[in-house]
Structure 1
Amino acid sequence: MMILPILKFPDERLRTKASEVKMVNNEIKTMVKNMFETMYASDGIGLAATQIDQHLRVMVMDVPDSGEDYQLLLKNRENKHNKPLAKKHPLCFINPTITQKDGKEMHTEGCLSVPGYYAEVERFNHIVIEALDQNGKAFTLEARNLLAVCIQHELDHLQGILFVDYLSKFKQKRLLEKVKKTDKR
């Protein structure tokens, strides 16, 4: 496995809309493993392929202690009784689509592509998402709280949207100035 470079704001490649994955092959599986490795090495809880300059609809996450915040809705051999999985569980979403959402709340967000900056963003607190896993198997997942927020945050990346886009123009301008000032050092 390999730790990959993460694009940093304001890199325009972060604005690229991701394409659908046509087939989950060995190349995609390797990319997913590298994304997990990169996310863990960066102390993140989520990473979209766009952030590593791979513009495919793939995202990974591992939200600590999220076991109570999600359930696999599509029963399968690994989860016959539809019980929440482990306290810490790596999740991969390929070609994800939100099918239900409700319960808006403000949440503090950060981003591996905007290091050191946090802001309040309004997100849905409850979602249902359909996707393929890293082996190409379809699943449906109901998520709440931080996991639901993380999924929405990473989905935005796949659309070329950053969490800072939800901020006022004034705050966006100040952040850009701060980033440019830091880059000059």
Structure 2
Amino acid sequence: MSNRLQISKQQRIGLGLVISVLFIDMLLYSLIIPVIPYFTEKFQPSSTMLGILFSSYAVALLLTTPFFGPLSDRFNPNILMLGGLVCLTVTMPLVVMSQAIWQVAGAMILVGASIGLSLSPTLSSLASIVDNEGSGSYGAAYALFNMFHAVGMIFGPLIGGVLTDVMPIPSAIIAVSIVILVFIGVLGRTLRTKKQQELRL
């Protein structure tokens, strides 16, 4: 049993998708951290309300993950992951464009559901990649998973902080969402090309 994750070129594409989904999810969500002062100034919520606001994301994630997990066993997990990312890029701008505190809470719930949709298939897809290669390198695969989880959480606040210093906060979130949406299109095209190549074999 190898202690290193050794995969084929084709499996690297699948691994790249899993890592990209994880990184983008954490990047986009952690972009909200530098926006907290913006919410505080705009809506003047109490500390309790601010806590409820951000916990609504976790509540949505908690409630949707048990549904999306079995769903990823029935349908193509790649489509679910990409679909979740698309939903996330659409819902993130809603968070900063909301005009009332209840609208922000609703947008955060949609963000949590979108992350639940995209994250639910990631671990099963990662395990499938390791199984298909027969390497047994689950520890190395999951370490890679956790590493990119942390990387997304690191760069999200940094990027958000820099962008919100040079442009209005809604514009910054929308700009990042558009860039990621283009990247999702590239990922989708890459996966479609991979599928076509497999069908020819």
- Settle same-fold status: TM greater than 0.5: no
The structure having more radius of gyration, on CA atoms, is 2
- If each structure's strand is expressed as a fraction of its own residues, which one has the higher value? 1
TM superposition score normalised by structure 1: 0.27
TM superposition score normalised by structure 2: 0.25
